[in-house]
Chain A
Amino acid sequence: MRASLTARAAMLSLVIFALFVGAWHIATSSTGSGTPAGMDPEYAKLLGLGATTGKSAMPTPLEVGAKIWSHLRDPFYDRGTNDKGIGIQLAYSIGRVALGYLLAVMVALPLGFLIGMSPLVYRALDPFIQVMKPVSPLAWMPLALYTIKDSGISAIFVIFICSLWPMLINTAFGVASVRKEWLNVARTLEVGPVRRAFTVILPAAAPTILTGMRISIGIAWLVIVAAEMLVGGTGIGYFVWNEWNNLSITNVIVAILFIGVVGMILDLCLARAARAVTYPE
């Protein structure tokens, strides 16, 4: 009997992973031989050990594995501005994303509701939304820095502004496209506007709204890394940039992996929430 599809897929994943790591290992394990001929030893010393031995700064898989292990063992240490555990850096980033995202939820859901309820407002605001939506959130950064004058709050503002549009658009669309017959049910039952909003429109639009929220959290997590590279100080984006300046490619690769894992977890949470409010028709 053949193994289930899940089991076979897992096997294939493992094989692909092993091939990738193997190729990586072979590509990075070749070492040069001593100081290149004719180079001044003092100059070689300035260039550092890597350059003098001809060894690449690209780490081997084992080095990355060891680094991940060392980060996991002690994720929350704090030894000054530029030496914080990766857990602390991720916590800063998640905190910023959470704050900006929640602010966006608080604005986008009620506003989207109003826009969706009124075809007039829907059409009137549509051009503004369509223009604002494709603007890269980082383009807002200088404006935010100038007006807010605080880099930390500016980063949160950038998260807010990039999370806003997908949620706003999806909420308005979900509310506007609630089935007419459900609204008619509420009308014939003389359900008041507030009760109708909470008992008919909100549950009917919830799957669409949650889809918008899922898109938003994805964008917010993409943007926070770039925003923190600009803003500096703390956060996983700053960590990546800092390690680039240290030429620690190992830490950069580790950070990439952690960013991916956290992003996946955020997406899974929203997917779980979306499934909870989805109704089969």
Chain B
Amino acid sequence: MSGYIAIEGISRSFPSPTGSGAPTAVFEDLWFQMEKGEFVCVIGHSGCGKTTVLNILAGLDEPTTGYVIVDGREIAGPSLDRAVIFQGHALLPWRSVLGNVAYAVSSKWRDWSNAAVEAHARTYIERVGLKGSEAKKPAQLSGGMKQRVGIARALSIEPKILLMDEPFSALDALTRGTLQEEARRICVETGQTVFMITHDIDEAIYLADKIVLMTNGPGAQIAEIVVNPLPKHRERDSFHKHPLYYGLRNHLIDFLVTRSKTFAAEMAGQPFDRRRPPLVHPGVIAKAIDGEAGTQRGPSGPTLAASA
């Protein structure tokens, strides 16, 4: 099996703090595929290694075992094919908005003239709605505007995959909503493949095509992959009124509150193939999914279908 992006059996362990004893594995034997143009969100508690997975995808960290394949090639180190939107925006404070985006553009296309770089950068600054603020320094921008620059910078290099590490978590609720909406619009319009970490269940439901649920670390694993049953075209102000919304939301909350802790016990004695984490369709009647055997899973959740 192979997707556009394939995570194959990666694990990451850190030496034990005392220096002696066995190293602690944050997560073990993760297998996961993403298709081109998919928007995937990862949910899990702090310490389950979400950020480490993202850093490995970005090439900033290396897995202890296993490997990651992007577009048919094993990744080795960071690449301009994979853009990162950092949690803390990570803008260079001595550069203007234009300077920050242009820095990325000129890094990707090194033989471009200054005028070409600037024109390209301006296109993306306009796309995130910052036209008129090109000359401002990051310190003069609000938190939401800074993150917009971060998005413009990441998109400007036209990456194969966009990696987002809780990009909106530091923003106030209103700004977060607006930015989610715009991020979704831009990503859907351009068919951008996105891998995003979030703590916010509604954010995941609104943005994602698939939601990856990770159990608690250490020794975290992918418990299941929830396929978002909401239609591809959803509106920020009405998606929570969709009939399948609460089923999905309850399923995710149940997972975070209880099942992320007890998943190992839940699975005890049952066959579990780490290479194929079950695809779950909360709220969708099992029979509606063609060619997949339905099973009921979850302590109190709605009817679930899983292809195990």
Query: In the complex, A97 Cα to B94 Cα: how many Å?
Result: 31
Answer yes or no: B207 CB below 8 A from chain A CBs.
no
Q: A280-B93, A280-B137 are in contact. Are A184 and B86 (CB under 8 A)?
A: yes
Task: Find residues 36-82 in chain B having any chain A CB closer than 8 Å to their own CB.
Answer: 58-60, 77-80, 82
- CA A245 to CA B88, docked complex, whole Å: 65
A190-B107, A280-B137, A281-B139 known; A203 vs B82 contact (CB < 8 Å): no
A203 and B59 contact, Cβ closer than 8 Å, known pairs A181-B86, A189-B80, A189-B108: no
Query: CA A230 – CA B37 in complex, angstroms?
Result: 76
Docked Cα-Cα span, A258 to B83, in Å, equals: 58
A221 to B137, CA, bound (A): 36
Chain A residues with Cβ below 8 Å from B137 are: 279-280
- Smallest CB separation, B167 vs chain A (Å): 13
Neighbouring B residues of A182 by C-beta, 8 Å:
90, 92
CB neighbours (8 Å) of A203 from chain B are: 92, 94
A280–B146 Cα distance when bound, in Å, is 14
- Asked if residues A187 and B60 are in contact (CB atoms below 8 Å), the reply is yes
Residue pair A187, B78 in contact (C-beta under 8 Å):
yes
* Chain A min CB distance to B24 (Å): 22
Interface assignment of B84: CB less than 8 Å from any CB of chain A: yes
CB pair B139 A190 closer than 8 Å = no
In the complex, A206→B94 CA distance in Å? Answer: 10
Most buried by B among A189, A200, A280: A189
Query: In residues 175-197 of chain A, which contact B (Cβ within 8 Å)?
Result: 179, 181-182, 184-185, 187-191
Interface contact A185-B92, CB-CB below 8 Å:
yes
- Chain B CB within 8 A of A199 CB: yes
The answer on a CB contact under 8 Å between A188 and B93 is no
| A184 and B60 contact, CB distance less than 8 A | yes
Contact among B60, B79, B88 with A190 in the assembled complex (CB-CB below 8 Å): B79
B78 / chain A contacts, CB cutoff of 8 Å = 187-190
Find residues 121-169 in chain B having any chain A CB closer than 8 Å to their own CB: 137, 139, 157
Which of B59, B88, B103 is the most central at the interface, judged by chain A CB atoms within 10 Å of its CB? Answer: B103
Q: Which residue of A lies closest to B80 (CB)?
A: A190
The 9 lowest CB-CB distance pairs between A and B, nearest first, are A280-B139, A189-B107, A181-B90, A279-B94, A279-B93, A187-B78, A188-B78, A203-B94, A188-B84
> Can you list 24 residue pairs at the A/B interface with Cβ under 8 Å?
A181-B88, A182-B90, A184-B86, A184-B90, A185-B84, A185-B86, A185-B90, A185-B92, A187-B59, A187-B77, A187-B78, A188-B58, A188-B59, A188-B79, A189-B104, A189-B107, A189-B108, A190-B78, A190-B80, A203-B94, A277-B94, A279-B139, A280-B93, A281-B139
Interface residues of B (CB under 8 A from A): 58-60, 77-80, 82-84, 86, 88, 90, 92-94, 103-104, 107-108, 137, 139, 157
Write the residues of chain A forming the contact surface with B, with a CB cutoff of 8 angstroms. Answer: 179, 181-182, 184-185, 187-191, 199-200, 203-204, 206, 277, 279-281
Q: Apart from A189-B104, A203-B92, what are 8 other A-B pairs with CB-CB below 8 Å?
A: A184-B58, A185-B84, A185-B86, A187-B77, A188-B79, A189-B108, A190-B79, A280-B137
